Amino acid sequence: MGSDTITLLSSREIEKMRQAGSLAAALLDHLEPMIKPGVSTLELDNEAERWTQAHGATSAPLGYHGFPKSICTSVNEVVCHGIPNGKQILKDGDIMNIDVTPILDGYHGDTSRTFFVGTPSARAKKLVEVTEECLMKGIAAVKPGGRIGDIGAAIQEYAEANGFSVVRDFVGHGINRVFHTAPQIPHYGKQGKGKRLRSGMVFTIEPMINEGTWEAQMLDDGWTAITKDGKLSAQFEHTLAVTGDGVEILTRSD
C-alpha cells in the first residue's frame, strides 16, 4: 500500500488500539507522581521502560529511526522529541511534556501530556491550559464526513486567539500496527479543506503550541526540536478513532 493510503480499521482492530491506548494513558498516570524537582529525565525513562515491559508491552520510540530512549521528555523550550538524560534534572517551575508509545500485541498507543514541575509561572500555566484546550477543540472537530482541515482550523483559531502560535514542522499521524502512517494531521489550516474523515480512520492529534514564534529548530543530536526564540512550548496528544457518528479517544485515562 502506498504511504498516502489511509487504512480503515475494523472494530476488532480498534479494540486492539483501545487496549494499547489505555495502557499508554495508564503509563502517563503512573509516571505523574514522579515528576518533582530533583528527578532526572533519565529516571523517568527507566521507570517507563520497566513498567512497559512489566505490562507485556514494548516501547515504540526505543530504536525508532535510531531514537535512543523509551520515551520523549521535552522540557520548557523543547517543542518535541527531547531525549531523556541523567544530567537533566527537573527544577521548580519547569514544564515538561512526556510522550509515550507502548506497543501492545502489535498495536500502538500514542499519547502525551505536559506536566508542571512544582509551581508554574502564570504564563506557563496559561500556555499549558490553552494547549490542552487546543487538543480538545481539535478532537471535537472530528466526525465522519468532515475534513482533516477542520481539525487544524479549530486548533489554530483557539491558539492564536489566546496570543500563542502553532508549530508547523510536526503533525499528527495515522497510527495502527505502524507508528507513523497516513494521514498527516496538521494543527493549523482551513475548515472544509483536506481529505474527508471516515469511520474507521485512526490517527493522533498532537498540537505543539508556542508562547512566541511558531518556528522550531533542530539541535545537533538530530532529534531535539526547540523554539527558535527560546520561549516555552507545550504539547498534548491523544490517539483517536473516527466512529459512525463522531470520535472516540483511545488514550483516555480512567
Nearest to 247 by CA among 131, 132, 121, 141: 141
Q: Measured from the CB atom, is 85 or 199 closer to ligand MF3?
A: 85
Using CB under 6 A as the binding rule, whether residue 152 contacts ligand MF3 is answered as no
Q: How far apart are CA 33 and CA 23, in angstroms?
A: 17
Under a CB-based contact definition with an 8 Å cutoff, are residues 44 and 98 in contact? yes
Cell representation of residue 25: 494513558
Using CB under 5 A as the binding rule, whether residue 233 contacts Co ion is answered as no
Q: Measured from the CB atom, is 179 or 199 closer to ligand MF3?
A: 179
Contacts of 222 (CB under 8 A, 6+ apart): 66
Q: How far apart are CA 205 and CA 133, in angstroms?
A: 12
Q: Compute the least distance from the CB of residue 92 to ligand MF3, in Å.
A: 27
Print the binding letters for residues 157-196 with Co ion: x by CB under 5 A, - otherwise.
----------------------------------------
The size of the interface with Co ion (CB under 5 A), counted in residues, is 6
Using CB under 6 A as the binding rule, whether residue 176 contacts ligand MF3 is answered as no
Using CB under 5 A as the binding rule, whether residue 224 contacts Co ion is answered as no
Which of ligand MF3, Co ion, none is residue 61 near (CB under 5 to 8 Å by kind)?
ligand MF3
Q: Dihedrals φ, ψ of 11, to 5°?
A: -65, -30
Q: Compute the least distance from the CB of residue 172 to Co ion, in Å.
A: 6
Q: Compute the least distance from the CB of residue 170 to Co ion, in Å.
A: 9
Using CB under 6 A as the binding rule, whether residue 110 contacts ligand MF3 is answered as yes
Which of Co ion, ligand MF3, none is residue 64 near (CB under 5 to 8 Å by kind)?
ligand MF3
Using CB under 5 A as the binding rule, whether residue 204 contacts Co ion is answered as yes
Q: How far apart are CA 113 and CA 249, in angstroms?
A: 14
Q: Which of 39, 47, 67, 253 binds ligand MF3 (CB under 6 A)?
A: 67
Using CB under 6 A as the binding rule, whether residue 213 contacts ligand MF3 is answered as no
Q: Which of 110, 147, 151, 164 binds Co ion (CB under 5 A)?
A: 110
DSSP string, 76-136: TTEEE-PPP-TT-B--TT-EEEEEE-EEETTEE--EEEEEESSSPPHHHHHHHHHHHHHHH
Q: Which residues form the interface with ligand MF3 (CB under 6 A)?
A: 61, 64-65, 67, 72, 81, 99, 101, 110, 204, 206, 223, 237
By the criterion CB under 5 A, which residues form the site for Co ion?
99, 110, 112, 204, 206, 237
